[in-house]
Amino acid sequence: MEKPVFIPLKKVYYLQFANGMKKTEYRQYGRRWNEKVCRIGRSVLLSCGYGNKNRMRGIITDFRKVPVWKSLGGADYLINYGVTEIGPVAEIDIKIMQEEITMLAPEESEEAQKQQPTPQGQNGTAGKPQVAECSTSAIE
């Protein structure tokens, strides 16, 4: 059986997926985020950071390769990568399997809800790995 695509997220975006507010993830199109890797029907494992405490499973329902200026996540893409990295955006639609959601502790959830949620499509995670606020291990 094929391994699920691992997608680390910041806490606020993890909670948006868990609450059904967010359905699309935006990443920099390339070797890791393309039609072959993110094929429709493949399972995904969304993680709050890189720890293994808060995770949820989902299924890829659609994949689009979109020029940055046409993508709903294009503004975040430019913020993260700057003008030297202008390239296509991988838009990955994900359906969350409700029985697989692991929620944060209530006090952590309330803290995340106090933050101003971004509209769907503007998540700040376009492409490169993010150091999540809920993870104890940092990559960058």
pLDDT digit string (tens) for 58-103?
999 999 999 877 887 766 666 665 655 667 889 999 999 876 566 6
Residues 6+ away with beta carbon under 8 Å from 83: none
Domain span at residue 55 reads 5-102
Q: Total structural domains in the chain?
A: 1
Q: Is residue 124 part of a domain?
A: no
CATH number at residue 72: 2.30.130.30
Q: Is residue 130 part of a domain?
A: no
Percentage of residues in the chain having pLDDT higher than 90: 42
Instruction: Scan for tokens 């070797």, then name that residue.
Output: 31
R_g (Cα) of the chain, nearest Å: 14
Cα separations in angstroms, 27 against 8, 41, 131: 11, 18, 15
Look up the pTM and report it.
Answer: 0.69
